[in-house]
Amino acid sequence: MTAYWCEHAQLPDKVHRGVRVVVADGRITEVVADTKPVDGDIRLRGIVMPGFANAHSHAFHRMLRGRTHADGGNFWSWRDQMYAVTSRLTPDTYFALARGVFVEMVAAGYTVVGEFHYLHHAPGGRPYDDPNAMGDALIAAAAEAGIRLTLLDTCYLTGGLSADGHAPLDEVQTRFSDGSVQAWAERVEALRDSDTVRIGAAAHSVRALTGDQLAEFAKVVGDRPVHAHVSEQIAENLATQMVYGASPVEHLTDAGLLGERFTAVHATHLSEDDLDLMGRSGAGACFCPTTERDLADGVGPGCELAEREVPISLGSDQHAVIDPFEEIRGIEMHERLKSHERGRFPVADLIEMGTANGYRSLGWDGGRIAVGSVADLVAVRTDSRRTSGVGLGQVIFGATGADVTDVVVGGRRIVSGGVHPLGPVDDVIAESIAAVRVGQ
């Protein structure tokens, strides 16, 4: 048993002072507010938040930060640069890169990540001797970084979608494909859950699987959490309408994928019918505000989804920024720009988007400081240049990841006083980037 005494803590109802959180076997067994610490308690200063969930991540996209803006362009030109990164990734370099990215996440306050994993095979599509070598590299990287992981192993079978139908895979995309839904399912079956790992599933998008393949995929995913990129681009909507006579959301519904286990990533360009389908199905949506604005994708219908009680989670996607506070603020600020009104979401709802909703979408019972939840905690300074004078209940509007001092995952303190056990965070990240840039 371990006990953490929090100077202040964000409990489900409000911020409380002097909160003692008792942990056993990785879960919270007792929460007592307005109390004093006892001998042996680990003291956490500032305000302690539930662990933040990064519900959508592509670890290797971190290589593109600050390198795609010189010539303008759009999502599709950015994608060409992203594909170029894959040529330098092997299981060893993928592990090195992902370890640094995951350390950056933990240091910023993320305690669980959903890694949308589609880089499966060697160049040319040849499987490694271990067909899950790339997924295993991500699992090992998360373990060393100390972050909880849902590996959203992704089925990716066609090269794109236009008015002419589905295109064949190009040379780069062959690394992403298992060739069939059945081959994908057989490979994924060898992966195993653990105390800190969940094996989830993803259909890359309606562009990357035919309608028949989506329907087959829906039948083999079982009770795993399932994610897919949905309506990220207007061009995707137009192509799906022309080929299938439906929007991507309608098409996924026809395939049998929409439901309580399903999360639509981005969900940027939704019609009223799409919104109603999302609400009736019990599906969730994952917004990635810093990526969606970086790629000029557009601003999703956050308030419209919330009105239909669709749970919204948040992700950092391509990692132009790795900061849970920035993603939380982003969804609110984007809505303000759309509506010319402030306070579009209650603070409690914003916190839930960044914590419990993400945990739920990734298959974990967490993101709350409450009995029974996994014991994932984040301590945030309240005396920095950013947070001094900020109301404790509104710290999400002032803090950044730089204000995180301590991170607890499964009851184990991973970051203590800003120090990660792998060493100085800046050095770990710089070394991970250099491991991939060698030979560039």
Among 274, 297, 317, 323, the active-site one is 317
Cα separation, 249 vs 257, in Å, equals 9
Do 113 and 106 form a contact (C-beta atoms < 8 A)?
A: no
Q: What's the CA dihedral at 346, 351, 356, 362 to 10 degrees?
A: 110
What is the predicted pLDDT for the residue at 298? Answer: 96
Please calculate the CA angle 404-407-411 and round it to the nearest 5 degrees.
160
3-state DSSP call for residue 319? Answer: coil
Residue 323 annotated among the catalytic residues of the structure: no
**Phi, psi at 10, each rounded to 5°:** -85, 95
Identity of the residue numbered 279: G
What domains are there in the chain, each with its CATH number? 2-49+379-427 (2.30.40.10), 51-361 (3.20.20.140)
Among 56, 166, 266, 334, the active-site one is 266
Got the DSSP string for 393-438? Answer: GGGGGT--GGGEEEEEETTEEEEBTTBBTTB-HHHHHHHHHHHHHT
pTM of the shown model: 0.96
Cα separation, 325 vs 168, in Å, equals 40
Rounded CA Rg of the chain: 21
Q: 């994708």: which residue's tokens?
A: 297
Is residue 439 scored above 60 in pLDDT? no
Is residue 440 scored above 50 in pLDDT? no
Is residue 82 scored above 80 in pLDDT? no
Element spanning 304, H or E: helix 302-307
Kindly indicate the confidence band of residue 87, based on its pLDDT and cuts at 50, 70 and 90: confident
Residue 392, token pair as written in the block = 């404790």
pLDDT tens-digit readout, 235-252: 999 999 999 999 999 999
pLDDT tens-digit readout, 380-438: 999 999 999 999 999 999 999 999 999 999 999 999 999 999 999 999 999 999 988 76
Kindly indicate the confidence band of residue 67, based on its pLDDT and cuts at 50, 70 and 90: confident
What is the predicted pLDDT for the residue at 394? Answer: 97
Residue 317 annotated among the catalytic residues of the structure: yes
Tell me the percentage of the chain whose pLDDT exceeds 70: 97
Do 227 and 116 form a contact (C-beta atoms < 8 A)?
A: yes
Bridging pattern class, strands 284-287 and 312-314: parallel
Q: What is the mean pLDDT of residues 67-91?
A: 76
pLDDT tens-digit readout, 102-154: 999 999 999 999 999 999 999 999 999 999 999 999 999 999 999 999 999 99
